[in-house]
Amino acid sequence: MKWMPIIVFMVLFLVPTGRSEEHYPGKFVSDSERETLISTTNDTVIVDSQNSWLTGILVGNLGSREWVNGFLWSSGELVVHATETSELPQYPSFQYSLSVEESDQELWVDLVGTREPEVFVFSFRSKAFWSSPFSSESDFILTEIAPLLEDFSVSHSAKAFPEGVEVDWDYRNNWFYRERVSRGLVTRIQRINRSWLSNQCIIDIHLGGSRNIVSYRDEWIPAKRFPSESGGSETGNYMGGRKEHQFVPDVGQFTTYQESFCRYAEDAAAANQEVNILYSDFWGSSESLVEAEVYKIWVEATE
């Protein structure tokens, strides 16, 4: 009997309830629906109606692709190169990984037939481990692939927020605040469904160039011989720290809890458009990637 509460919990919360074509994980909600939802949710981040805990998009071109037939699962494993085909040389490329489930064979066929190094918008959702425990190797499942927008100026965000989006509270009235403005390419956006907290949107922005990541590793270092109490000499080891350097693409991770910010970043990513961001860089450490809440995001108007 002591297992009964656990079994009831799994039945109520872990069994999937099916898929809605209206809000399929990974797809955009239509502009009209978003406007209605924004007005009724106080601009909180909109998430998948079927309670996928994470959905999102990323921008890049297809790299390696391989269909894997395993004993318990079969899936298409993909590598997507972010910023590889960008005309801006200041953005060194890096990789994201996605999987295609066996049920999406048609999507896989389309992907295999793609030869040109064209940039696409890849929609994805989180893997529901309780409904498909061996469906793929990746944590994220591809749900849709679409071409880039031709022009950011025709997007919903450009029309609704021609001057960009800014939070409606005084972030400057904070002792920890230190203003930092950067420019970069949006490469991935993730909407996180947090049932008991405010929904969250995480935005990956390539800030250009690379960053020197410093890490420390403890290891035993041989010591020189030293006199012992018996009058002889001994050789001992001591624990020391080893400093390691690794240069990685400088991709900051920015957080917001507002739908207008999340949608603005999605529209900019889908148009492969550089954005400006304002955030607080309190720690200002050059030895770690930026993680901060974004206070303003905007695209400079073109003449």
pLDDT in tens, 129-145: 655 656 677 889 999 99
**pLDDT value for 38:** 37
Compute the average pLDDT of residues 166-170. 83
Question: Could you tell me the pLDDT band of residue 191, with boundaries at 50, 70 and 90?
Answer: very high
User: What span, in angstroms and rounded, lies between the C-alpha atoms of 43 and 193?
Assistant: 15
User: What span, in angstroms and rounded, lies between the C-alpha atoms of 261 and 277?
Assistant: 11
Compute the average pLDDT of residues 206-222. 77
Q: Between residues 116 and 5, which one has the greater pLDDT? A: 116
**pLDDT value for 179:** 83
User: What span, in angstroms and rounded, lies between the C-alpha atoms of 34 and 133?
Assistant: 33
**pLDDT value for 222:** 66
Residue entry with tokens 């809890």: 257
* Helix locations, the chain, DSSP H: 4-13, 31-41, 105-112, 156-160, 259-270
In the predicted structure, residue 32 carries a pLDDT above the cut 60 = no
169-190: string of b/e by CB count within 10 Å (b at 16+)?
A: eebeeeeeeeeeebebbbbbbb
Q: Which two tokens stand for residue 94?
A: 């890096």
**pLDDT value for 182:** 92
**pLDDT value for 134:** 62
By 3-state DSSP, what share of the chain in percent is helix, strand and coil, each rounded to 5? 15, 45, 40
Mean residue pLDDT of the chain comes to: 77
Compute the average pLDDT of residues 266-281. 93
**pLDDT value for 9:** 38
Strongest mean pLDDT among 130-134, 176-180, 194-198: 194-198
276: left (phi over 0), alpha (psi -120 to 50) or beta: beta
Question: Could you tell me the pLDDT band of residue 43, with boundaries at 50, 70 and 90?
Answer: confident
Q: Between residues 137 and 97, which one has the greater pLDDT? A: 97
User: What share of the chain has pLDDT > 70, as a percent?
Assistant: 72
**pLDDT value for 135:** 64
Question: In 10 A of CB 112, how many CB atoms?
Answer: 14
**pLDDT value for 129:** 64
User: What share of the chain has pLDDT > 90, as a percent?
Assistant: 38
**pLDDT value for 211:** 86
**pLDDT value for 138:** 82
In the predicted structure, residue 285 carries a pLDDT above the cut 60 = no
In the predicted structure, residue 13 carries a pLDDT above the cut 60 = no
Strongest mean pLDDT among 20-29, 106-115, 132-141: 106-115
Indicate yes or no: pTM above 0.85: no
